[in-house]
Chain A
Amino acid sequence: MSTQVTFRIWRGEKGAGQLRDYTTEISSGMVVLDAVHRIQATQANDLACRWNCKAGKCGSCSAEVNGKPRLMCMTRMSDLPADKPITIEPLRAFPHLRDLVTDVSWNYDVKKKIRKYQPRKPDNPDGTWSMEQDDIDRVQEFRKCIECYLCQDVCHVLREHGLHPDFIGPRFLVYSAALEMHPADTADRLPDLKNDLGIGYCNITKCCTKVCPESIAITDNAIIPLKERVVDRYYDPIKRIFRAITGSGGD
């Protein structure tokens, strides 16, 4: 059971380039990454794309397939219309390098800006902490993130407005939330989130949640609770008065 399918793949360097057509054979169960590999091995040895695990666990093969941000390794050909060409383009929210590869180094720089995990003193003599499963379920949801950056790609604050210097994007709000909601963590990231990390830019359109391959409820479970914490601290009128009197809890 095999059919010929045409792929329109973005070829070029540093933003310049065009979609080029490749036709290859598709067999049962194939994913988009298989087709890209087949084209690479037989027709375009130098076709640049990233991939590693081919099982949706490493988040390397992110691309825009028929205009939608997806992991190529988890996109089955049978889920795409076979009667018209399938377009594959690089993520558009980051600087283009070559073909399907973009420069995602900004994400690595952003992560360094977020205060690291600072646990309280261990609860037990062997240096461990006592934590209930119920109290870490939420944090574990956030830690499922495979850093594919699809959420960054689709976030209009980054993609359309290019506010990369001012806003860390959904991925790193999830990362911040995992640290803030960790039962043993003691660091305070709310001043940073409000001031330098730009949480206010997010207007909860939930585009990020829709594209997350790990089904993390990014907006509802991470971003909104963080926004609430920021609002509680800085914009609650009673607390503001209290702070003005006592001089505590400023940013």
Chain B
Amino acid sequence: MAEFQTLTHDVLVVGAGGAGLRAAIEASAAGVKVGLVSKSLLGKAHTVMAEGGVAAALANVDDRDGWRVHFADTMRGGQYMNHPRMAELHAREAPDRVRELEAWGAVFDRTKDGRILQRNFGGHKYPRLAHVGDRTGLEMIRTLQDHGIHLGIDVHMEHTIVGLLKDGGRIAGAFAYDRERGRFKVFHAKAVVLATGGIGRAYRITSNSWEYTGDGHSLAYHAGASLKDMEFVQFHPTGMVWPPSVRGILVTEGVRGEGGVLRNKDGKRFMFEDIPENYRPQTADNEEEGWRYTQGDKNARRPPELLTRDHVARCIMREVRQGRGSPHGGVYLDIAWIKERLPRGEEHIKRKLPSMYHQFKQLAGIDITKEPMEVGPTTHYMMGGVNVDPDTQMSDVPGLFAAGECAAGLHGANRLGGNSLSDLIVFGKRAGEHAAKFAVANAAPRIDNSQVEALARRALEPFERDTSENPYQIQHELQDQMQDLAGIVRRREEMEQALDVIENLKRRAARATVKGNREFNPGWHTALDLENLLTVSEAITRAALERKESRGAHFRDDFPEKNAEEGKVNIIIRKTAGGAMSVSREPVPPMSGELKQIIEEMK
């Protein structure tokens, strides 16, 4: 067989965003040999894009907060599709994980008495998001990176995993190429942690970077792990809509947390008109109360702009469809108006939302301290992912773990803002800890050379074909079709059409060709990413067809209401022995008595 460079680690972590770095740090602290594979340069992962903050019930700003409230908020936001044990662990452990970041050098904004400041965010009852202006994700990744580089972790930057290797039923390692030279590498590992993030590049309008091609979802699926909740794709309500080249770039929810309001073209704050029943008791019914809430009045209820993302996104869609949108197909998000209320409003906006100020100034020529922004929904986050054990984060393939966005369970049908950064550190740590334990408890697996050779052969095929399919063209067509046929508003006929499109694109992807050589060739990488994008697109569409109701981020025009029976199951995707994609249903995991009682109390 061909000779490939071979590297051996106890734990191989795939992905170097918040979850991957945190997992690598934890595994390394347990004393095992850790490798960290990063698709880009270290410190560039999508975590840097997270703006608003990290949710943790520190109760620094409002002492009524606590893990129970955070748990109940997360479950309510997720429409009770969440794994309750994951939501519990997350709410209990997030405060310690945030404090740990401070011990490693993170510099959060402060309260007047010198503690970590927390801000309001959609769906969180109390101010809960520890933050650094609107660049919290950068602070988190830099802190983890700068801490991690001193721990002896082997970092493999600009490497992409092409396939996972197995020894019988268990994981044995991974097969990769390095971008710089285009060489293949075989990673031997007793345990593999997937921390690859999301799937946003399956859609045309997205806040996600090129890396977000569903690699972990797809790798796990093809290795025999089950995926869960794939129908729940979060469309963030506020992405930029103009100019066209920036369409989809995120506008942080923090704008609304600081008092920003949504208006239609007639100047009306349309969110007041549609407040869901289960949020009515905790939502302001007039503008004055909403404003007081954003300014920290503990007796005020939150403005409807801070309802959950799924709901706000749909309200914006409604305004646009009914002809009340802004000129470029969005609605107005106005933070400039707070100058009427705050003496030094302009400075306040620049200080609390510096990235947003620069983003609009530089990319759209808009001064957000003076004029409203135009915003509309953008594909933002995948709630679904690898089906994992809530305590250990292990998938149903022994030795294969997943954490962060590519794992399912914590967020259910809709994620609350701020709960992803906390997800990364809570479950990144758990995955690293348990992957290390697994590595210590198990002997080294055997690498099957035929698997390695098959992956190498497949990966090189695009260079050898005499066809002429452009991989970029296939990717763009998939993005267009997923946006139109399996996007925010879904119906059966369109999703069936999407499945046909995906089958057709699979055939074309098998003919994708690449020019040039193997060194740093993005055409080749695009061709290799296609399989992942097509796999997750099919999984999203099949799961969305199966769920015959509207719940959280999943909205069906043909089943516009919630259905109590559908609410009792999670949709599971698996690869059958014959290679086809199977869809099944599993009961939502039951809640312990204690958790049930919390939900009752917090209703």
Contact = CB atoms under 8 A, between A and B. Distances in A.
Interface residues of A, number: 60
A142 to B, nearest CB: 9
Contacts of B354: 144
Contacts of B42: 108
A179 B246 CA distance: 35
Interface stretch (A49-57, A160-168, A202-210, A232-240): A49-57
Interface stretch (B68-76, B113-121, B259-267, B334-342): B113-121
A46 B516 contact: yes
Contact of A57 (B115, B135, B526): B135
A224 interface: no
Contacts, number: 167
A143 B519 contact: no
B114 A130 contact: yes
B514 A45 contact: yes
B396 interface: no
B249 A55 contact: yes
Contacts of B243: 28-30
Interface stretch (B25-33, B358-366, B428-436): B358-366
B347 interface: no
Contacts of A133: 109-110
A5 interface: no
Interface in A184-203: none
A143 B44 contact: no
A117 B243 CA distance: 42
Interface centre among A53, A127, A144 (most CB of B within 10 A): A53
B132 interface: yes
B10 interface: no
B44 A60 contact: yes
B523 interface: yes
Interface string A32-57: 00100000111001111111111111
A173 B133 CA distance: 23
B469 to A, nearest CB: 11
Most buried by A among B209, B245, B364: B245
B490 to A, nearest CB: 27
Main secondary structure of the interface of A (DSSP, over half): loop
Given A53-B48, A54-B209, A128 B99 contact: yes
B48 A146 contact: yes
B109 A52 contact: no
Contacts of B470: 41, 45
Contact of A52 (B138, B180, B209): B209
A126 B132 CA distance: 21
A127 B209 CA distance: 36
Given A52-B44, A116-B150, A136 B110 contact: yes
Interface in A122-141: 122, 124, 126-133, 136, 139-140
A56 B359 contact: yes
A169 interface: no
A177 interface: no
B193 to A, nearest CB: 21
A135 B364 CA distance: 34
Contact of B146 (A46, A103, A111): A111
B41 interface: yes
B41 A50 contact: yes
A194 to B, nearest CB: 22
A66 B351 CA distance: 32
Nearest to A107: B41
Interface string A88-113: 00000000011101011100100110
A74 interface: yes
B211 interface: yes
Interface string B500-539: 0000000000000011110111111010000000000000
Contacts of B358: 56
Contacts of A249: none
A220 interface: no
Interface of B: 40-46, 48-49, 99, 102-105, 107, 109-110, 113-116, 132-133, 135, 138-139, 142, 146-147, 149-150, 157, 180, 209-211, 242-246, 249-250, 354-355, 358-359, 362-364, 470-473, 476, 514-517, 519-524, 526
9 contacts: A29-B363, A29-B364, A46-B522, A46-B523, A57-B49, A97-B520, A126-B99, A128-B116, A143-B139
